[in-house]
Structure 1
Amino acid sequence: MKDAGVLETRLIDIGYEKFASDVWGRTALLTRGVGDFSDLFSADAVDELISRRGLRTPFLRVAKGGSTLPESSFTSPAGVGATISDQLDDTQLWRKFADGATLVLQALHRTWEPVSSFSTQLSTELGHPVQANAYITPPQNRGFDDHYDVHDVFVLQIEGTKRWIIHEPVHVDPLRSQPWTDRRSAVAEAAQGKAYIDTVLEPGDVLYLPRGWLHAAEAQGKVSIHLTLGVHSWTRHALAEHLAQAALAALCDDPEVRRSLPLGVDGPDEEIAAVRERLAAAVLEADTTSLFHRTRRGQGRPAPLGPVAQLAALDGLGPESLVRLREALEARLEGSRLTTRVGWLDFPEANLPSVRRLLDGEPHLASDLGVELVERLLRAGVLVTAEL
């Protein structure tokens, strides 16, 4: 039986199957006291990232009174030895925070390792890309007015408390091209109605919201820190886009479709039937699998790879070396070609059984796979030592 993942053990208390059938993409879910999230993020992590890591925009934005402040108001040059003009200015950020502004640390799946690992695990379980932001709000303040997101979110309350007011959608399942600002008046009107959820989140609570659900949040008596895991859902519309792209690419090889319309044509009516017929046939024949996986690979990054540690693994490689597939590679073997987020490799027939074994993600002895093959894959950044 497959072990429970981070969704079941850390974000919900109803089980994966029930969440998938009754909640995912359908309704909001509030889960109380799931656990302690201090291993993922904390106030100390906020201070570390802002004051010591040399972060630049857009890894942080600042909001107050429902508006985002200009980046120039909280960035400055990096000083001697670094020709960078937009690093975070911790003094300016402190002043704005003390004045009631919310600090938003963006893309923590790129800058904070515990959040990165957690986001990668969740993305693997859900089958959809996951990003992570943290919202740090002073007492009795809110950063943003009522709005909806175009991605699903899990809200993890880290420190302090925050009141959340949730309303049902005015536009169900919005696409990324359909932001809340396109329906500003409808959102404002709906926000005046009876709330679906009106509650205060405490540390350890988790709130799940499908895309399109209206929300606003306000810190209570202490500084509030919450982590938002944004799930950028694959949709049927996205698959339709890929299908259309593949069909149009195929029609490039159809001389009848490439042909110019007749001179003097007054409109498409005379030609549209023939084009529709050929387009429909191309859609039926189109194989979007490769395009889907190529796009999916481009939406994430593989697990971190340390160049010094990887060189040491190469120098120490021997028959007893234990290696495994690098995590989050989105590796797929298509025929004799291995495609990953770090490129592709072609293999002779004799290597394919060993490559297939590696795709299980488990540790393997170099002697069982072939030391030369392991060396090639270590150099390509596809394998790492099992101890890494």
Structure 2
Amino acid sequence: MGGADPVGAALPDALPPDALPSDALPSDALPSDAVATSALARCIAIPAERFAAEYWSARPLLTPAAESGADYSDLLDVAAIDELLSRRGLRTPFLRIAKQGKVIPAREFTRSGGVGAGVTDQVADDKVLGLVADGATLVLQALHRTWPPLVRFGSTLSTELGHPVQINCYLTPPQNQGFAPHYDTHDVFVLQIAGHKRWVVHQPVLTDPLPGQDWEQRRAAVTTRAAEPPLLDLMLQPGDALYLPRGFIHSATAQGETSIHLTVGVHPVTRHSLLKHLLAEAATDPKLRASLPLGGDLAAEARLADQLRETVHAFAAFAEEGRLPQVAGRLADELAGSTRPEPIEPMAQLAALAALTPSASFRLRAGLRARLERRPDAVLVKAIDTSLSLPLSAEAALKLVLSGEPVSAAALPGLDAEAALTLVRTLLTAAILVPERGA
């Protein structure tokens, strides 16, 4: 994210509220203390219900630090960036570097890891220094996988929103941009950590673009739209947050000091996603596997119209035949594979196994998206790429486990003491259960 064209005139540190469209500014009071502890409440200063009804996937929302009191330095700061670049052994693609709209080849900022590290693309901190000094923008990618505070934040936010989340950090030297005006195929929350950055936002050229409909396919239309008067022209300062739905064209320029911001990308599950999963299930229907008739031009519109009408009718009939469990299962597998649950501590899990007692307290691993499937002779627990087959007698106990409530072997229903301990051991080993904190 970022811009490509230099900004000629210096801008004030913050634009006055009347420089923005009135519907881009929140007016509600801060949410309650209960809501304020959530990850989403760190990105917005209005109730989650209003955000969902008025802004989600519809229009931008600016949340000034003056209204929210936000400070994102606990999530990432300059010292953390230095540590990631110099002491964490980062490799591509966890770092990208761009300058004036062009991505710099990885070979220009990586080298061999040296003795004992048989890799050729480890980030070279000295090369990074030279590029940043020359005005390049750093993009630390997938921090929801690598930096502990953002692992926790990303996992919590994904659980609250119900959609997968990714987190990148953008570090831009003064008076520079990393990327040309463009749009994303996912929603974003921009969280300004340090410095000031000017954001220019334009209306979409394509509403709600899907992952395969990226901006480069519409480069000319994007360039034309970016030359028009903007929807928003604003300055983000530390603690400010900006929500942009997918499709909104944007560019950003650092001002008189180095700018650091987090881009929290939300990859929405769409109606197109549901159709995709339903279509995959349609392969089980003989009517929808049938060949088109022989002879003639199959693509002729006059002939194709009847076939298309019959196919749509057959597909609608198929969709109404109780396909919800199958589609739900496919969607659950997609979500499980695209989100990261709470990190586990393997040594702590082993210690919990060694010290297991009937009264020891455990809980479901947060963000796991585990689910049950009942079979005639067993019950399956599915989570990410794990599938456990367990006796039907464990079904009631497993429902309690997956409810998210803290549990102990002694409290599991429908099982004798030894069977309950065996079930807890199995779930701990599979990282479905984790020790309850403070237990």
**C-alpha separation in 1, matches of 2:407 and 2:153:** 24
* Structure 2 partner of 1:362: 405
Quick one: distance in 1 between partners of 2:267 and 2:313? 34
Structure 2 residue 406 is the aligned partner of structure 1 residue 372: no
Aligned twin of 1:306:
345
Q: Which residue of structure 1 aligns with residue 51 of structure 2?
A: 19
Aligned equivalent of 2:244: 209
Aligned partners of 2:40 and 2:160 also within 8 Å:
no
> Structure 2: which amino acid aligns with 1:346?
S
Q: CA deviation at 1:283?
A: 3.2
Give secondary structure in 2 for the equivalent of 1:132: strand
Unaligned stretches of 5+ residues in structure 1:
none
**TM-score by structure 2 length?**
0.83
**1:350 counterpart residue number:** 393
The Cα of 1:334 is off from its aligned counterpart by: 2.6
Matches of 1:257 and 1:37 in 2, distance apart? 52
CA distance in 2, matches of 1:206, 1:215: 15
CA offsets per residue over residues 205-225 of structure 1, 9 Å max, x none? 000000011111111111111
1:295 and 2:334 are equivalent in the alignment: yes
- 1:214-233 equivalences under 5 Å are 214-233=249-268
Q: Counterparts of 1:32 and 1:187 in 2: how far apart (Å)?
A: 28
For residues 290 and 273 of structure 2, what CA distance do their matches in structure 1 show? 29
Name the aligned partner's letter for residue 400 of structure 2.
R
For each residue in 1:239-270, what CA deviation from the matched residue of structure 2 results, as whole angstroms up to 9, or x when unmatched? 111111111x213xx2x665666665553748
Q: Distance in 2 between matches of 1:303 and 1:138?
A: 34
Aligned residues: 384
Q: Which moved more, 1:373-382 or 1:129-138?
A: 373-382
Partner of 2:298: 267
1:107-122 aligned at under 5 Å gives the runs: 107-122=142-157
Q: Secondary structure at the match of 1:364?
A: coil
Whole-Å separation in 2 of the counterparts to 1:167 and 1:203: 23
Deviations 1:163-209 (A, max 9, x none): 11111112111111111111112211211222221111111100000
Q: Cα offset for 1:345?
A: 1.8
- Contact preservation (8 Å) 1:76, 1:88: yes
**What is the DSSP-based 3-state SS (H/G/I as helix, E as strand, rest coil) of the residue aligned with 1:6?**
coil
Structure-2 residue corresponding to 1:90: 125
- In 2, the alpha carbon distance for the partners of 1:263 and 1:188 equals 47
Q: 1:200 to 1:61 in 2, by over 3 A?
A: same
Secondary structure at 1:38's aligned position in 2? Answer: coil
Which residue does 1:250 correspond to in 2?
Answer: 284
8 Å contact 1:342–1:381 — kept in the other structure?
A: no
Q: Please tell me whether residue 38 in structure 1 is matched to residue 73 in structure 2.
A: yes
Are the equivalent residues in 2 in contact too, given 1:107–1:132 (CA < 8 A)?
Answer: yes
Amino acid at match of 2:284: A
Q: 2:216 aligns with which of 181, 185, 190?
A: 181
* 1:338 matches 2:381: yes
Aligned equivalents of 2:64, 2:33: Cα separation in 1? 25
Moved more, 3-12 or 87-96: 3-12
Provide the secondary structure at the position in 2 that maps to 1:143. Answer: coil
The counterpart of 1:128, out of the listed 163, 170, 184, is 163
Out of 300, 318, 322, which is 1:282 matched to? 318
TM-aligned CA deviation for residue 326 of structure 1: 1.2
Q: Matches of 1:320 and 1:119 in 2, distance apart?
A: 32
User: Partners in 2 of 1:13 and 1:261 — Cα distance?
Assistant: 56
* Offset of residue 2 of structure 1: 11
- Distance in 2, matches of 1:153 and 1:101, equals 22
> Deviations 1:29-67 (Å, cap 9, x if unpaired)?
000113111111111111111110001100010000101
SS at 1:321 equivalent: coil
Give the TM-score of the pair, scaled to structure 1.
0.93
Instruction: Report if the CA contact (8 A) 1:7-1:16 is conserved.
Output: no
Query: What residue number does 2:12 align with?
Result: none
Task: Give distance in 1, aligned partners of 2:320 and 2:263.
Answer: 40
Q: Which segments of 5 or more consecutive residues in structure 2 lack a partner in the other structure?
A: 1-31, 413-419
- Alignment CA distance shift 1:365-1:2 (3 Å): farther
Aligned residue in 2 for 1:320:
359
SS in 2 for 1:367: helix
> How far, CA to CA, are the matches of 2:144 and 2:407 in structure 1?
28
- What displacement does 1:301 show? 2.4
Task: Name the Cα RMSD after superposition.
Answer: 2.1
Deviations 1:270-316 (A, max 9, x none): 89366555444333333412111111111112221222221111111
**Secondary structure of the corresponding residue to residue 78 of structure 1:** coil
Distance change (3 Å), C-alpha of 1:275 and 1:204: closer
Cα separation, 2, equivalents of 1:361 and 1:184: 47
Contact 2:180–2:251 at 8 Å: present in 1 too?
Answer: yes
Question: Are the aligned partners of 1:244 and 1:283 in contact in 2 as well (CA < 8 Å)?
Answer: no
1:161 shift after superposition: 1.1
Which amino acid in the other structure matches residue 386 of structure 1? E
Partner of 1:241: 276
Aligned residues of 1:62 and 1:68 also touching (Cα < 8 A): yes
The percent identity for this pair of structures is: 48
The answer to whether the Cα contact below 8 Å between 1:141 and 1:219 also exists between their aligned partners in 2 is yes
Equivalent in the alignment of 1:10: 42
Following the alignment from structure 2 to structure 1, what is the Cα–Cα distance between the partners of residues 389 and 234? 55
Please report how far the alpha carbon of residue 8 of structure 1 lies from its aligned counterpart in structure 2 after TM superposition.
4.8
Matched AA of 2:248? W
Q: Which amino acid aligns with 1:56?
A: R
Cα pair 1:302 1:341 within 8 Å, conserved: no
Conserved? CA contact 1:152–1:211, under 8 Å:
yes
Give the secondary-structure state (helix, strand or coil) at the position aligned to 1:174: coil
- The answer to whether the 8 A contact 1:123-1:129 is kept is yes
Residue 7 of structure 1 and its aligned partner are, at CA, apart by 4.6
Q: Counterparts of 2:53 and 2:373 in 1: how far apart (Å)?
A: 32
Query: Match for residue 5 of structure 2?
Result: none
Q: Is the 8 A contact 2:168 2:263 kept in 1?
A: yes
User: Residue 29 in 1 paired to residue 61 in 2?
Assistant: yes
Q: Distance in 1 between matches of 2:132 and 2:209?
A: 32
